[in-house]
A = this chain, B = another copy of it.
Amino acid sequence: MSTQRPGEDSLIARFFAPLAAEGGLGLKDDAACLSPTPGHDLVLTTDALVETVHFLPGDPAGTIARKALGVNVSDLAAKGADPKGFLLSLALPEDWTVGWLEAFATGLGEAARDFSCPLLGGDTVKARGALTLSVTAIGEVPAGRMVRRTTARPGDLICVTGTIGDAALGLRLRSSPFWATALSPAERDFLADRYLNPRPRHRLAHAIRDNAHAAMDVSDGLAGDLAKMLRVSGVSGIVETGDVPLSGAARKAVDADPDLLDRVMTGGDDYEILCTVPERNLDRLRKEADTVGIGLSVIGRVVPGSDPPVFRTGGIERRYDVGSFSHF
């Protein structure tokens, strides 16, 4: 009977085996087997998602699956890596249903195809509490070519893809839907979707690898993540907040309430690529970004020093308190 909850083995066979890559061995083994491309390094990243912390109760199952994979593929993209596959660890709450899992697996399969990052293996257990997922994604770069976070250099241009702040505003819209009355329904939907559906910039991975000195993805907020990258690189930076790319909806919200600019800069969940680029490479990077249809903006410059980066708005300068962006 299709609505009866199956055991773990039949659950894997029914929902996850159809998504498995060749290296996943049809999920019939305890482990996956991957043959690395000769002359390449592996890039490995893991990110966990917890209900109410990283997504909201009632979010569509397929969207949760896509986000869990997307935030990991975003990490690979920022490192200049091509996705090879992923493993999923899924802790299901007591009340899971066959319908929910079916939608989850469908969303996961679509995301795996969209991001060219197939399922290799996983583990499914009972949660004690809310739905909790952990994805480990594996990517590949030519040997020695992983783009580091620690290698920004003075004089580099600070660049960011896409637009910043949409997801943070989208999350706020979901918790207080009567906020930002200036926005149209379509603009609200756009922002909400940006929180739910990160768009990893994997199509820009090669261009980042070829042109950036340092890169990371923006997950904990532009200000905090930039401060982190510059600190581990032993440098500082200056950002013009007016150059930080905003979507039409975010621009409208900030114009109506300028205090929202802080939320845009620090809110997180952007999953854009933040990178530092030597000036001589900018045109080439821009051109490659254009080719794959991803926006690229120069928002500032790396400078010598050890202070957190300065954010300039008109004549006003501020440094954000980086510690406040931590999850703990």
Is the CB of A279 closer than 8 A to any CB of chain B?
no
Contact B35 A143 (CB under 8 A): yes
Chain B residue, CB-CB nearest to A46: B87
Contact A129 B127 (CB under 8 A): yes
Complex Cα distance, B34 from A88, in Å, reads: 20
Which of B79, B89, B126 is close to A31, meaning CB atoms less than 8 Å apart?
B79
Contact A44 to B134, CB < 8 A, known contacts A50-B127, A217-B30: no
Chain B residue, CB-CB nearest to A125: B48
Q: Which of A97-135 contact B (CB under 8 A)?
A: 120-130, 132, 134
Binary CB contact string for chain A from 305 to 327 against chain B (1 if under 8 A, 0 otherwise): 00000000000000000010011
Contact A42 B36 (CB under 8 A): yes
Complex Cα distance, B327 from A11, in Å, reads: 11
Is the CB of A241 closer than 8 A to any CB of chain B?
no
Chain B residue, CB-CB nearest to A42: B34
Is the CB of A194 closer than 8 A to any CB of chain B?
no
Say which size band chain A's interface belongs to. Answer: 35 or more
Contact B76 A31 (CB under 8 A): yes
A299: shortest Cβ distance to chain B, in Å? 19
Is the CB of A138 closer than 8 A to any CB of chain B?
yes
Task: Identify which of A51-59, A176-184, A260-268 touches chain B.
Answer: A51-59
Contact A43 to B50, CB < 8 A, known contacts A132-B91, A327-B126, A328-B7: no
Contact A327 B149 (CB under 8 A): no
Is the CB of A189 closer than 8 A to any CB of chain B?
no
Is the CB of A45 closer than 8 A to any CB of chain B?
yes
Contact A32 B43 (CB under 8 A): yes
- 29 pairs across A/B with beta carbons < 8 Å? A7-B326, A7-B328, A8-B327, A8-B328, A11-B328, A30-B216, A31-B44, A34-B42, A35-B42, A35-B143, A44-B120, A44-B121, A45-B87, A46-B88, A46-B122, A46-B123, A47-B89, A48-B134, A50-B128, A53-B126, A87-B136, A91-B132, A123-B134, A126-B327, A128-B129, A128-B130, A128-B132, A129-B130, A134-B134
Shortest 5 CB-CB distances between A and B: which pairs? A129-B129, A7-B326, A128-B130, A89-B134, A136-B136
A-B contacts besides A33-B41, A45-B121, 20 pairs, CB < 8 Å: A5-B328, A29-B150, A30-B45, A31-B44, A33-B44, A34-B43, A35-B41, A36-B36, A36-B40, A44-B138, A46-B87, A48-B89, A49-B125, A50-B126, A54-B125, A124-B327, A124-B328, A127-B129, A127-B132, A134-B134
